[in-house]
Amino acid sequence: MKRGWAALYEDQTEEVILERLLARIPDIMDKREGSVIYDALAPAANELAQMYVNLEIERSLRFPAPENGEELDKSVAWSGIVRKEATNAQWRGKFYNNQNELMDVPIGSRYSIEDLNYVVKSKLGVGQFAVECETAGAIGNKYSGSLLPIDFIDKLAKAELVDLLVSGEDVESGEALYDRYQDKVTKPITSANKNQYVVWAREVSGVGDAKVFPLWNGNGTVKVVILNNEKRTPSPAVVQAVQTYIDPTQDGHGEGVAPIGPIVTVVGAGEVPINIIVRVQLARDATTDDVKEQLKVSISKYLEGLAFNDTDTLVRITRIANFILDVPPVIDYFDLTINGVTSNIQVPLDSVAVLGTVDVHV
């Protein structure tokens, strides 16, 4: 049985249990494989080993862990936290006739690109429609460009996906589900306090985190700033979905989950690009491209960890320097700057730092 955390009973295998049972039988008796005693104890050892497996499962249900798969869903269900299902991407599709003029197509008509199929859902304008990927998940965000009609459409000469309107989201990961569960059970949620608004925002698909600013525009106002699952600013559609869920009318009438009184404004977080320039001394046969790719990975992960961090809002130049020195081919570095300066970068409370350009030269 696979477990992402230490299992209490993983060493209680059938072989170990059988050996322990046989050790309790006097050596003067025949305990060899195939003997009466061996054959009598072996089934009992098998059953006991299965019992320990079941105990491990019960333990995982009692103590949630991100790696527990579907068992995590069961163990957090009491809190009201439910794993977010995958959602379908929606694009703006444009359709043209033989004169290269926009033309209307039937609602429900189907088209393909690569190995994905899309269906026309609603009209946005002449020859422009909301087109939904039939396959749920982030895969629906991947392709744009020419569409091939699956159904025959009279006079249609060209169809294309042009703008991603609503990002498709994969099924919520165990880490994200566990993080939302921890937020709910460890932070007090009462009478629509700040934590309650965070929980509400994170219940919407496409939201990875949220931060709340009470009284941001005077008495009775609340601003909720949200991030997507990649710790970037979310699409307008996700922002609107959260606004609709929490306070659709923004008049204090309590038409959403927010109580009567507060006027809630939902916005996407601002992004602060972090541009790195550094000169390096490299080991023989190493290239700046190798260094650049490794730096992009480590710095991106570092910046994700800073997103909406309540205790650290600085992008520290010393941390960037450490990432540079951690790249094996780098012997030393010089002239390091972040956004053109040699000091830390302060990130506003309603924004996140995101990786911009990485310029590595010798």
pLDDT tens digits, one per residue of 240-294 = 999 999 999 999 999 999 999 999 999 999 999 999 999 999 998 889 998 999 9
pLDDT, average across residues 116-130: 96
Domain residue ranges in the chain: 14-63, 90-166, 187-268, 271-361
Q: Tell the residue number behind the tokens 């004169």, with chain if given.
A: 99
Lowest mean pLDDT among 135-144, 180-189, 330-339: 180-189
Looking at the chain, list the stretches that DSSP marks H as alpha helix, in order from N- to C-terminal side.
Answer: 14-23, 36-62, 70-76, 174-186, 194-202, 236-246, 288-306, 317-326
Neighbouring residues of 276: CB distance < 8 A, sequence distance ≥ 6: 295, 299, 320, 336, 337, 338, 356, 357, 358, 359, 360
- Of the two residues 2 and 334, the one the predictor is more confident about is 334
Q: Residue 284's pLDDT is what?
A: 87
Instruction: Please give the backbone phi and psi of residue 58, each rounded to the nearest 5 degrees, phi first.
Output: -60, -35
Given a cut of 70, whether residue 4 has pLDDT beyond it is no
State the pLDDT confidence band at 71, using cuts at 50, 70 and 90. confident
- Of the two residues 3 and 208, the one the predictor is more confident about is 208
Provide DSSP, 16-70: HHHHHHHHTS-TTS--STTSHHHHHHHHHHHHHHHHHHHHHHHHHHHS--GGGTH
Q: Residue 3's pLDDT is what?
A: 42
- Of the two residues 17 and 68, the one the predictor is more confident about is 17
Share of the chain above pLDDT 70, in %: 98
Q: Residue 94's pLDDT is what?
A: 97
Given a cut of 60, whether residue 238 has pLDDT beyond it is yes
Specify the amino acid at residue 209: D
